A and B are shown apart, each in its own frame.
Chain A
Amino acid sequence: GDSVTQMEGPVTLSEEAFLTINCTYTATGYPSLFWYVQYPGEGLQLLLKATKADDKGSNKGFEATYRKETTSFHLEKGSVQVSDSAVYFCALIPFSGGYNKLIFGAGTRLAVHP
């Protein structure tokens, strides 16, 4: 079945460092791809999404590009802030069927220090 694999955390960075969180997927056809973020004490929020190959999703300085050839959707940010400390989940919705249920990766905890 379809699945998502993302890098294990925690990832610890200093403020203003460059961030990459790797995400790869296994799926048939062209799934939709998502990054969700869970800030401490809060619910899951959609961060960005991409629905077809070569699409780039972006929000709050974060970017991810849908790479069909490498089945990847890596999350990047050029300069992280302390407020970016959270758990990040890569997810997909299968191309067909499945009632649009989300299939999540295990999550990657990011800690940003001043």
Chain B
Amino acid sequence: GAGVSQSPSNKVTEKGKDVELRCDPISGHTALYWYRQSLGQGLEFLIYFQGNSAPDKSGLPSDRFSAERTGGSVSTLTIQRTQQEDSAVYLCASRAGLADQQETQYFGPGTRLLVL
């Protein structure tokens, strides 16, 4: 596709359930990021992938959060045993992956997660 896509666009779940959020980056982009946008914390980094490896997981808030990337393309963010404080918009971004600090990150539309 032309841009970063994410699914689902909205997800409502009950506290304690597991959820999976999907990100399809721009074709050929090797670098992929997950961010979270919440009322209390603003926009915060979660995890970074280069290819299928995640050299920076420092933003994951707890061990209930995990992510993987397969084939250097699609990424899945999994939240286990969801809590109400997990309610947020989860954003995915990708960039080509050149060693360039200036390289633009392109964002998807986000998945809005509501935990009841």
Contact = CB atoms under 8 A, between A and B. Distances in A.
Interface of A: 32, 36, 42-46, 49, 51, 89, 91, 93, 95, 98-107
Contacts of A105: 42
Interface residues of B, number: 26
A43 B107 contact: yes
A100 B35 contact: no
Contacts, number: 57
B56 A101 contact: yes
B27 interface: no
A53 to B, nearest CB: 14
Contact of A107 (B42, B45, B59, B102): B42
B45 A43 contact: no
B105 interface: yes
Given A32-B101, A100-B101, A43 B108 contact: yes
Given A49-B102, A93-B101, A102 B110 contact: no
Nearest to B45: A101
A89 B107 contact: no
B104 A46 contact: yes
B42 A45 contact: no
Interface string B29-59: 0010101000000111100101000011001
Interface in B33-89: 33, 35, 42-45, 48, 50, 55-56, 59
Contact of B109 (A32, A42, A51, A98): A42
B61 to A, nearest CB: 15
18 contacts: A42-B109, A43-B91, A43-B107, A43-B109, A44-B107, A46-B106, A89-B43, A98-B56, A99-B31, A99-B56, A100-B31, A100-B103, A100-B105, A101-B33, A101-B45, A102-B35, A102-B93, A104-B43
A91 B102 CA distance: 12
Contacts of B44: 104
A99 B104 contact: no
